[in-house]
Amino acid sequence: MDQLIIAGRKFKSRLLVGTGKFASNQAMVAAMEHSGSNIVTVALRRVDIDNPDDSLLSHIDPERYFLLPNTSGARDAEEAVRLAHLARAAGCEPWIKLEVTPDPYYLLPDPIETLKAAEILVKDGFVVLPYMPADPVLARHLEEAGTATVMPLGAPIGTNQGVRTRDLIAIIIEQANIPVIVDAGLGAPSHAAEAMEMGAAAVLVNTALADTPDPALMGQAFRKGVEAGREAYLAGLGAQRQQAEASSPLTGFLRNNR
Amino acid sequence: MKLIINGKTKEYQESLTVQQLLQKLNLSPDRVVVELNRQILSPDIHVKTQLKSEDTIELVQFVGGG
């Protein structure tokens, strides 16, 4: 069985699902179920003490899903480290999707603060999965710092644009000795399939599932996209070439040779 | 007693432990994490942690996120 292995832990599905922005908890759960995902991400925020809403966790079956907290909202390494420790105190395993995004317009990850936070969190005993710009040199540095994966962005968070960083992600995949998970910007199952065909170990999708009238059906579509891309990668894609190469025999035509 | 909870100033007549504060706010200790003056509190010491005026408290929980 071709499983995703992160820090020695095995997962059946290569599709990670975010839980943000769904119209309802029911829609979120339906998308998660149909996606076949085993790993779901969550964020940490202040409780609205004057108006506490119901707990997200009451909707997520811990037997079925591995909860991966993120450090979204962190603007620098210090805030990210603080959030990671809060998540661990909430009873999660010490796994953290590290996100440091100081710029609210493009939400691009800060490479310097991300590396800084990764070094601290690895020392603190966390399994660190860093969201990062699609920069092969940074990927090397993060791997050397001891992160469990690297998570280069396909396009800015929530943009549904696809694997715009394709050539750089190809270099990251070529050089990495840890799983490469393409995160952010994947808006269609074909985008997920593309990343998987390139040899990504997994993809993470949120907005594309939340931002559709039918999250369950879209979850299923992404599951198939990820599986198709993975199988194509394992099978080995045929080489691209400039000149046509006939698929049908070039002999036995119903005409006489001149 | 004046407490700063999640950035909001709250006045309480009586003195409170962390556990009593969570009860007042209708928050179950297994769904929120408490940070008191930048120190994370594990749930087993909520009951014996007495709050004092001007304490800064952060109460956080998991929400949907990508």
pLDDT tens per residue, range A109-124: 999 999 999 999 999 9
CATH at residue A142? 3.20.20.70
Contact criterion met (CB < 8 Å) for B66 and A45 = no
In a domain, A256, yes or no: no
In a domain, A147, yes or no: yes
- From the CA of A231, how many Å to the nearest CA of chain B? 26
Domain around A211? 4-235
* pLDDT > 90? residue A205: yes
- The residue type found at A227 is E
In a domain, A122, yes or no: yes
Q: A94 and A126 in contact (C-beta within 8 Å)?
A: yes
Residues from chain B contacting residue A86 (CB–CB below 8 Å): 33, 35, 40, 60
- From the CA of A64, how many Å to the nearest CA of chain B? 17
Of A203, A115, A133, which Cα lies nearest the Cα of A172?
A: A133
pLDDT digits (tens, 9 = 90+) for A2-31: 899 999 999 999 999 999 999 999 999 999
pLDDT digits (tens, 9 = 90+) for A169-199: 999 999 999 999 999 999 999 999 999 999 9
Confirm whether A97 is a catalytic residue. yes
Tell whether B62 is within 8 A of chain A (Cβ).
yes
pLDDT digits (tens, 9 = 90+) for B1-49: 999 999 999 999 999 999 999 999 989 888 899 999 999 998 889 999 9
3-class SS of residue A78: helix
Structural domains of chain A, count? 1
What pTM does this model have?
0.92
Complex ipTM: 0.92
Q: A147 and A129 in contact (C-beta within 8 Å)?
A: yes
In a domain, A257, yes or no: no
Q: Region A138-145: what's the mean pLDDT?
A: 98
Residues from chain B contacting residue A43 (CB–CB below 8 Å): 62-66
Q: Which domains does chain B have, with CATH numbers?
A: 2-60 (3.10.20.30)
Average pLDDT, whole number, for chain A?
Answer: 95
Contact criterion met (CB < 8 Å) for B63 and A42 = yes
Neighbours of A108 (CB within 10 A): 17
A149 vs A63 pLDDT, higher one: A149
Q: Region A50-54: what's the mean pLDDT?
A: 78
Q: Which of A45, A47, A65 to mutate to test the interface with B (most CBs of B within 10 A)?
A: A47
